[in-house]
Amino acid sequence: MPRIGLVALALLLPLSAEAADFKAPVSELMAAAATNWQDLGTDTNADPETPPPYVDYFSEDFLKRLYSKDFVAKYREAAKYPAYEDSTSPFDYDPIIGGQDGCALKDVAITEGQPANGAEDVTVTFDNSYCFGDRTADWQPEKLVFKLIEEDGHAVVDDIERTSFDDGASLKKELEEIAQEGANGGGGTASETPD
């Protein structure tokens, strides 16, 4: 009987470790967003005179470690058409928080779904509009659904759905639209930010 228990434990441990990995890239991206949007006047350990360095969600390091090969290919194609002349980003807004303006992130919650066939959805909710004053009665926190897959033995982000955007606003779809518009002589971002 003890051998059966050990065999079962040996089989379950890799599954538990794999499930934990799906949350890791999302946690790292949300930590970057929290750093980028911290309130320098009130956040702990923040020097109001010196903002921390901006953490690029699409740095070479992040592209290599946190995103799928397909996502990276779409990002690189869209990045050929930066939103601004002095930029390398195809976005004219922060694609994680969903805008150009916002408050320091609070009430960040990261919830894992059920892994299936090497894929998992990880849902993130947060409040980044509390500093704007009164809100409508039907206000909901910002919600992102990170679509993760396993690639080369690691969990990576394959897409991000922003539920407050038009049609769930797939970030990969937006990258494809930016690349297509740029290739057709258009400029700027195919932004689908909410009203």
pLDDT for 187 equals 63
pLDDT for 100 equals 86
Cβ contact 172:71 at 8 Å: yes
Question: 124 - beta bridge partners?
Answer: 110, 144
Cβ contact 182:78 at 8 Å: yes
Q: Kindly state the DSSP code that residue 120 receives in the 8-state scheme.
A: E
Rounded-to-integer distance, Cα 110 and Cα 126, Å: 9
Rounded-to-integer distance, Cα 17 and Cα 183, Å: 42
Question: Would you kindly state where each structural domain of the chain is located, as residue ranges?
Answer: 2-183
Going 44 to 46 to 48 to 53, the CA torsion angle's sign is negative
Mean pLDDT per segment of 10 residues, for the chain of length 195 residues? 46 45 95 89 62 91 98 97 89 89 92 90 94 89 95 95 81 95 74 44
The whole-model pTM stands at: 0.80
